[in-house]
C-alpha cells in the first residue's frame, strides 16, 4: 500500500489510513473515527485555512481572526461555515503533537453527518485534492458482530461524508472481495518488506510545504530551523521530477532548491533492504541532477539536534560560497548497512 500510494497521482484523492478497532455498535465506531479525524484536522491546521499561519494563538485576537477567516473561506467554497469556524477556533486553542484515541479540545456539538462531511472537505482541501479516501485496516480475527458493525459503519461514512472507504486486510464475509494486481516492480520490493506494527491510529501523507504533522522529527527540525537565519529558502515535502523522464517523481523530506541540497530523515523502516534499495535509487537520480543528499537517522536528530543543524548549516554556507562540497561534514559508510551516513564529529 505504501509503495503504491507514494507518490500519489495528481488526480487521486487525499488518502488517509486508519487502524480500526472492533466496536460494540455502529455509533461507537463512527464516533471513534470522527473523533480521530477531528484531531487530525486540528493537527493539519493551518494547512486548510488560507492565511491561518499568521494567527498568533489563543490570546488576543487569534480566535476571533480564525473564525473570520473560516467564514470567508466557507462563503466561497463548499465548506459549512459554522463547523469550519468552530474547527479553526479549536485548532488555535490546541497547540501540540497529535494524540489519537482520546478526546480533542471541546467544541460545539454538531451532528455526526455535519462532522463527517465537514472533515472530509477539510482533509481533501489540505492536500489540494477534490476528495478524500479513508483506507481502513480490518482487524485480525474480527468477530461476526464486529464485522457487521465495521461494514455498517463504513457504509454510513461513505454515504454521509462523501469519502471513498477502502477496506484492506482479512476478507470479510459481508462484502465482495476485490483482489488487485500489483505491478511486478512493486511486488519485488514489497516481497522484501516486513509489515511494521501499526504505531498510530491514523496515517496521513505529508502536506507540500510543511513538515509532516505526524512526524516528531520533522516538527522538531522545523521548530529549530525557524530560528536560524541561514535556513531561509527551505521547502518541506515537495515533489521533484527527475530529469530522467522514465523515473517517477520523488518526494523529498526537506530541500533547498537553489543550493541543490536535499535532507532526508530515516526512521527504522529505512534499514530494510527494500527501503535501502529505494533510497539508493532515489539518491542516485537526485545526484545526477546536481543535488547533494544528506541523510540523518531519527536518532541523530533527536539525540543531537544541534549537531545536525550545524552540519546542514556548514554545507549550505559552503554551497552558497560556490564550493562543490560542504566543509565540516563527512559522509561515512555504515559498517552494517553499507549506506552513507553523516557523522556528527
177 and 239 belong to one structural domain: no
- In the numeric block, the cell 516528531 is attached to 216
- Per-residue pLDDT, 203: 73
250 and 126 belong to one structural domain: no
305 and 190 belong to one structural domain: no
- The stretches of 243-272 forming alpha helices (DSSP H) are none
Q: Which of 202, 225, 258 is where one domain is finished?
A: 202
Q: Which of 154, 180, 202 is where one domain is finished?
A: 202
132 and 266 belong to one structural domain: no
Go through the chain and tell me how many residues it has.
Answer: 345
pLDDT digits (tens, 9 = 90+) for 279-322: 888 898 899 899 999 999 999 999 999 999 999 999 999 999 87
23 and 146 belong to one structural domain: yes
Residue 102 lies in a domain: yes
pLDDT over threshold 50, residue 345: no
Residue 210 lies in a domain: no
| Cα 137 to Cα 32, 33, 132, distances in angstroms | 15, 12, 16
Residue 209 lies in a domain: no
153 and 125 belong to one structural domain: yes
- Per-residue pLDDT, 341: 53
112 and 197 belong to one structural domain: yes
- Per-residue pLDDT, 102: 52
- Per-residue pLDDT, 312: 96
| Rounded Cα gap, residues 344 and 312, in angstroms | 11
Hey, which bits of the chain come out as E strands?
A: 14-19, 132-137, 164-168, 202-203, 234-236, 239-240, 250-251, 254-256, 261-266, 292-297, 331-333, 340-342
Proportion of the chain above pLDDT 90, given as a percent: 43
pLDDT over threshold 70, residue 23: yes
147 and 26 belong to one structural domain: yes
pLDDT digits (tens, 9 = 90+) for 136-173: 988 888 888 999 999 999 999 999 999 999 988 888 87
Q: Which residues form the domain of 87?
A: 2-202
Q: Number of folded domains in the chain?
A: 2
Residue 78 lies in a domain: yes
101 and 187 belong to one structural domain: yes
pLDDT over threshold 60, residue 186: no
57 and 168 belong to one structural domain: yes
284 and 256 belong to one structural domain: yes
Residue 113 lies in a domain: yes
CATH number at residue 234: 3.40.960.10
**pLDDT-wise least confident of 47-51, 61-65, 159-163, 235-239:** 61-65
Say what the pTM is: 0.67
Residue 309 lies in a domain: yes
Terminal Cα-to-Cα distance of the chain (whole angstroms): 38
Q: What is the mean pLDDT of residues 268-277?
A: 78
Residue 252 lies in a domain: yes
Provide the mean pLDDT of the chain. Answer: 81
Residue 207 lies in a domain: no
| Rounded Cα gap, residues 185 and 216, in angstroms | 31
Q: Which residues contact 240 (CB under 8 A, 6 or more apart)?
A: 249, 250, 251, 252, 255, 286
Q: Which of 177, 202, 227 is where one domain is finished?
A: 202
122 and 26 belong to one structural domain: yes
Q: What is the mean pLDDT of residues 110-125?
A: 95
Amino acid at each position: 500500500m505504501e509503495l503504491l500510494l507514494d507518490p500519489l497521482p495528481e488526480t487521486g484523492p487525499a488518502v488517509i489510513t486508519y487502524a480500526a478497532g472492533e466496536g460494540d455498535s455502529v455509533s461507537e465506531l463512527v464516533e471513534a473515527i470522527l473523533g480521530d479525524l477531528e484531531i487530525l484536522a486540528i493537527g493539519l491546521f493551518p494547512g486548510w485555512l488560507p492565511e491561518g499561519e499568521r494567527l498568533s494563538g489563543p490570546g488576543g485576537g487569534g480566535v476571533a481572526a480564525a473564525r473570520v477567516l473560516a467564514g470567508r473561506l466557507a462563503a466561497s467554497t463548499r465548506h459549512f461555515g459554522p463547523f469550519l469556524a468552530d474547527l479553526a477556533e479549536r485548532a488555535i486553542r490546541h497547540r501540540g503533537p497529535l494524540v489519537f484515541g482520546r478526546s480533542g479540545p471541546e467544541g460545539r456539538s454538531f451532528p455526526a453527518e455535519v462532522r463527517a462531511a465537514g472533515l472530509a472537505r477539510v482533509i481533501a482541501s489540505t492536500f489540494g485534492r477534490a476528495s478524500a479516501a479513508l483506507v481502513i485496516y480490518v482487524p485480525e480475527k474480527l468477530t461476526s458482530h464486529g464485522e457487521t458493525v465495521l461494514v455498517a459503519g463504513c457504509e454510513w461514512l461513505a454515504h454521509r461524508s462523501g469519502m471513498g472507504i477502502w477496506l484492506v486486510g482479512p476478507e470479510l464475509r459481508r462484502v465482495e472481495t476485490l483482489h488487485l494486481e500489483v505491478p511486478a516492480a512493486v511486488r519485488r520490493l514489497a516481497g522484501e518488506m516486513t509489515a511494521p506494527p501499526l504505531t498510530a491510529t491514523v496515517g496521513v501523507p505529508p502536506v507540500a510545504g510543511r513538515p509532516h504533522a505526524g512526524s516528531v522529527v520533522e516538527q522538531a527540525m522545523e521548530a529549530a530551523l525557524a530560528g536560524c537565519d541561514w535556513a531561509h529558502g527551505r521547502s518541506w515535502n515537495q515533489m521533484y521530477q527527475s530529469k530522467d523522464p522514465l523515473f517517477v517523481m520523488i518526494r523529498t523530506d526537506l530541500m533547498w532548491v537553489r543550493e541543490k541540497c536535499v535532507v532526508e530523515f530515516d526512521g527504522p523502516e529505512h534499514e530494510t533492504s527494500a527501503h535501502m534499495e529505494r533510497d539508493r535509487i532515489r539518491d542516485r537520480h537526485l545526484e545526477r541532477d546536481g543535488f547533494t543528499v544528506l541523510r540523518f537517522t531519527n536518532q541523530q536528530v533527536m539525540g543531537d539536534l544541534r549537531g545536525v543543524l550545524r552540519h546542514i548549516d556548514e554545507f549550505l554556507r559552503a554551497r552558497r560560497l560556490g564550493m562543490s562540497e560542504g566543509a565540516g561534514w563527512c559522509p561515512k559508510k555504515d559498517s552494517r548497512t553499507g549506506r552513507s551516513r553523516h557523522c556528527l564529529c
